[in-house]
A and B are shown apart, each in its own frame.
Chain A
């Protein structure tokens, strides 16, 4: 994997020229955004003056109108900012994200409009809820060494019954974050899923009892590594196969990877592939209009996020092909 020092050189030698161009565009965008905001404030002030003159009896009407203008303004603002920044976002992704992906591993391809398919999401068997709405973006795919890898941001939601009388639709998020699929270096036929261990962490021994009761997930696999057991709960269709996948050193690698991610991570193993789901609220590959694009520390966050995802191949040692499965 590329180091931060290597990336710094790449940043100053290759990215910076394009970024300076993009930065000009960002400043233009920022200017227009400020103009729109100021217009909004000006409109509010004018209205305040008008209603102020017509007497205090209109106060309640004034607040109502102001509220409605606020909502209308929010929608217009949303449409405008999306519209004017669309081209900028596309250019940013082409220059920064695509550039960093190719810098880390030239054989990988980036497609900002594509994403992991719903079928692949289902194949992981990590989230069994009915999915009614599925979307995503920022697909990275290709071969890293011996390993096929692909990942993207996705959002899977389900429709839940409405709570208000108007019957408005309410959506519940099943998963939002980064979803990664990589070819696993060992051949296996069953299914093993690894969840973050919320139950045991919160409820202790009682939690362990709950874990054992999730029978539809298969057999609860109790592993020998206490640290691993503290963070994860494992279910598998075949006890031996799950342990074959989760060798002592591989458990250590998963633990280290979880430490690097710094938040709960879901893993599953099916169809000789490894699925990694990292829930995040942040939209990882979008530009931040409030930050300077020529600032190295800012662009480095994109490099760090992409390195963490592409680095799963090395972190989990997936390129080691000493078993009969060669590719």
Chain B
């Protein structure tokens, strides 16, 4: 009888530990992917001033577009929460598209070797951002499902684990083509 009782207590304790570890693993995964997402977003924001500098050399009259993209870039760098980052991301994509639209009007700029290199790098970074965003949302979906379904939701309340926000931005909203 005593052995059975001990086994039940040990079983319950193991269950609590197991669920705690599960939540911690999932949370860490979200933090980890979120950190990677930040790193890639930073890569994009680091590229923008170089791009602006090159465009300025050929299209100095497009001051409004150039200043706007720089201010968007600064806003993006200041963003701290996921919703803020998501909003900054939308603006950045829009700004970059405007900048490329400007380039279309200047054939010399389009042919510039450095501009083409920066454009290729930015395409790459945009796709990396998309990948990181998808990875982040996949991790968030896993933990949010666990937080919502019974009986894990009871443990989630006990351990004060709450749902994470999604990095909400659909690919159709992004005008940069993904290949």
Contacts and interface: CB of A to CB of B under 8 A. Distances in A.
A239 B135 contact: yes
B178 interface: yes
A243 B178 contact: no
Interface in B158-179: 171, 178-179
A322 B138 contact: no
A118 to B, nearest CB: 32
A323 B127 contact: yes
A239 B33 contact: yes
A239 B30 CA distance: 12
Interface string A240-268: 11111001111000000000000000000
Interface string A7-31: 0000000000000000000000000
Interface in B74-109: none
Contacts of A326: 120
Nearest to A244: B131
A239 B139 CA distance: 10
B132 interface: yes
A250 B171 CA distance: 14
A224 B178 contact: no
B128 A317 contact: no
A3 interface: no
Contact of B120 (A240, A243, A250, A324): A324
Given A247-B178, A317-B179, A240 B132 contact: yes
Q: How large is the interface on B (under 10, 10 to 19, 20 to 34, 35 or more residues)?
A: 20 to 34
A222 interface: yes
Contacts of A307: none
Interface string B107-129: 00000000001011101100110
Given A247-B178, A247-B179, A317-B179, A323 B123 contact: yes
B36 interface: yes
B134 interface: yes
Contact of A240 (B123, B135, B171, B178): B135
Contacts of B131: 240-244, 247
B123 A224 contact: no
Interface of A: 186-187, 222, 224, 239-244, 247-250, 317, 320-324, 326
Q: Which 4 pairs between the two chains have the least Cβ-Cβ distance?
A: A243-B131, A244-B131, A323-B124, A324-B120
Interface of B: 33, 36, 40, 117, 119-121, 123-124, 127-128, 130-132, 134-135, 138, 171, 178-179
28 contacts: A224-B134, A224-B138, A239-B33, A240-B36, A240-B128, A240-B131, A240-B132, A241-B131, A243-B130, A243-B131, A243-B134, A243-B135, A244-B128, A244-B131, A247-B127, A247-B131, A247-B178, A248-B171, A249-B178, A249-B179, A317-B179, A321-B120, A322-B119, A323-B123, A324-B117, A324-B121, A324-B124, A326-B120
